[in-house]
Structure 1
Amino acid sequence: MRLNTHTWGEGDRVALLIHGIMADHRTWRRVGPELAARGLRVVAVDLRGHGASGQGPYAPGDFADDLVETLPTGAELAIGHSLGGMALALAVERLAPRRAVYCDPAWRLPGPEEGAGESAGPARLAAAKTLSREEISRLNPRWEEADVDIELASLAVWDVRTAYGIAPAFGTDLRPTRPLVPSLVTTADPSPMLSPEDVAELRSRGFEVRTVKGAGHTAHRDDFEGFMDALEGWV
């Protein structure tokens, strides 16, 4: 599927931005312009079922295939958050960016044996569709009002079937066995996706791992400056 994209900047040096579940390209409202100001042409996608892109089906491989069909190969940098990090890891060999950054990637979603229940994980995600402004603000106290506005708008067009489509990933270890390109993993503090043991294992596999201190799962919205600091040397 060809995805809807949004571009900041211009030129031959390209950066790719891939959002997480429930969001769309608007989640990068500060990151995109900042990278453009550093001389990059920044291309952000709306994953299928999100933003202005088409809908279904929603297996993890479908999200990855869309990236390959839509985005240019050989980009200077590719950044994927959460579900976007899952999709980027599955597509990175074909996209062949010079560097990849995985932001709190969804590589270790809890399965039934970890207390999530057979459908609790997807159902919990789907329930976010009806969050009110007040609930979003309470869950994300460090967000600016503009981010709350964007979250409401993104949820309004999000297809909740994406949550059930990725259900096979719950309880599955999707951590890459090795980085296929030089790769940085940024984590929340603490991360809901990667345990300290996961971090140690990823480092042993050749990934650089940095924590955005005090930030939640969407670090680029919780602490934009801290997130950009974590990318030092990679942008």
Structure 2
Amino acid sequence: MHDHRTGPPARSPSQGTLEQLLLNTPTSKPPASGHPARFHPLMLPHPHPSANQSRLAGVRHCVLLNRLAWGAGDKIAVLVHGMLGSARQFHELGPALAGRGYRAIGVDLPGHGRSPATADPTIESYAESVAETVRAELDTRAAPGPVVELAIGHSLGAIVLAAALPLLRPARAVYVDVPFSPADTGAGADELLARFSGAKAGRTVEQLRVSKPAWSEEDRRVEAEAARQFDPATAVALQLRYDRNPLPGPPSTSIPSVLIRAEPSRFVSPERAGELKGLGFRVRSVVAAGHCVWYGRVDEFLGAVLD
């Protein structure tokens, strides 16, 4: 595994004025017990490629992201994590793909992992940052763009992947446990900030041992580390900009597109899965998995990805 660190700058205290929560979840308020609210990743609608092209035109706010790479195969796989996560979430999936002939590249989105925070994030700038980082890893700046065999996006990462389709041009896109349907938390800034802060503070190894007994100890350690690195201000700014300029509905399935969901899923109901199937997605379910579907079930997840 190769670790490419960008050396993020210190995060300005002034960014705290933007701290609000990027949530679309079944829950709405922190529990009365005073325990931290459970975090549920952002679920935003997903643009058609033609819409992506117009939205991406002129976007120049990308940053070079920290990335991890596994393997040296000819087939390129790009892995994009969800909210509150990092590229290290793929600590098993990356090597598993490498063992199947892929060169797997996982990125830390802005304000996550070791990537720098940004005060002016948008879904489009995230998409450009991912594509630029993949180009840098592959040293393909002179080419029209990287040749990507497989792209996997989880939750928020699925939305970013959707926006990045015109730039990455993957042969196959895999979206993990994301419904591609709009939602509104209906919460104000203070309430949203309280949820985000509670989620960040409460995602510790000790609490994950209780709430995620099926995860490995390394899974828990990786998630707790990602929570410590997570910058709420960047997530807040992303939500504010998204609220002003939301994306349209599910993406085109003009390229092979797979939706992998947990079974049961808090986010992709059987009814929604059926609707997405009708739109051309190949829908696969992993029984008894959690929202990070591959944790504890890498072989089953890979079977769904490569089916």
Does residue 54 of structure 1 match 2:54? no
Q: Does the C-alpha gap of structure 1 residues 177 and 40 become closer, same or farther in structure 2, counting only changes over 3 Å?
A: closer
The alpha carbon displacement at 1:106 in A equals 6.3
Root-mean-square deviation over aligned CA pairs:
2.2
Question: Which segments of 5 or more consecutive residues in structure 2 lack a partner in the other structure?
Answer: 1-62, 136-145
Contact 1:21 1:83 in 2 (8 A): yes
| Secondary structure of 1:209's aligned partner | strand
How does 1:28-67 map onto structure 2 within 5 Å? 28-56=90-118, 57-67=120-130
Question: Could you say which residue in structure 1 is the equivalent of 2:10?
Answer: none
Does residue 80 of structure 1 match 2:158? no
Contact 1:9 1:36 in 2 (8 A): yes
Contact 1:123 1:163 in 2 (8 A): no
Greater Cα offset, 80-89 or 185-194? 185-194
Higher relative contact order (CA 8 A, sep 6+): 2
Q: Does the C-alpha gap of structure 1 residues 162 and 14 become closer, same or farther in structure 2, counting only changes over 3 Å?
A: same
The alpha carbon displacement at 1:206 in A equals 0.9
Q: Alignment length, in residue pairs?
A: 229
Does residue 129 of structure 1 match 2:200? yes
Q: Does the C-alpha gap of structure 1 residues 60 and 205 become closer, same or farther in structure 2, counting only changes over 3 Å?
A: same
Output the TM-score relative to the length of structure 1: 0.88
| Secondary structure of 1:69's aligned partner | helix
Does residue 117 of structure 1 match 2:191? no
Q: Does the C-alpha gap of structure 1 residues 70 and 59 become closer, same or farther in structure 2, counting only changes over 3 Å?
A: same
Greater Cα offset, 22-31 or 174-183? 174-183
The alpha carbon displacement at 1:174 in A equals 5.2
Q: Does the C-alpha gap of structure 1 residues 117 and 152 become closer, same or farther in structure 2, counting only changes over 3 Å?
A: same
Question: Could you say which residue in structure 2 is the equivalent of 1:138?
Answer: 210
Match of 1:18 among 65, 80, 90: 80
* In structure 1, C-alpha distance between the alignment counterparts of 2:194 and 2:289, rounded to whole Å: 25
| Secondary structure of 2:152's aligned partner | strand
Matched-pair identity in %: 35
Between structure 1 and structure 2, the one with the greater Rg is 2
* In structure 1, C-alpha distance between the alignment counterparts of 2:298 and 2:73, rounded to whole Å: 24
* In structure 2, C-alpha distance between the alignment counterparts of 1:58 and 1:19, rounded to whole Å: 16
Output the TM-score relative to the length of structure 2: 0.68
The alpha carbon displacement at 1:229 in A equals 2.4
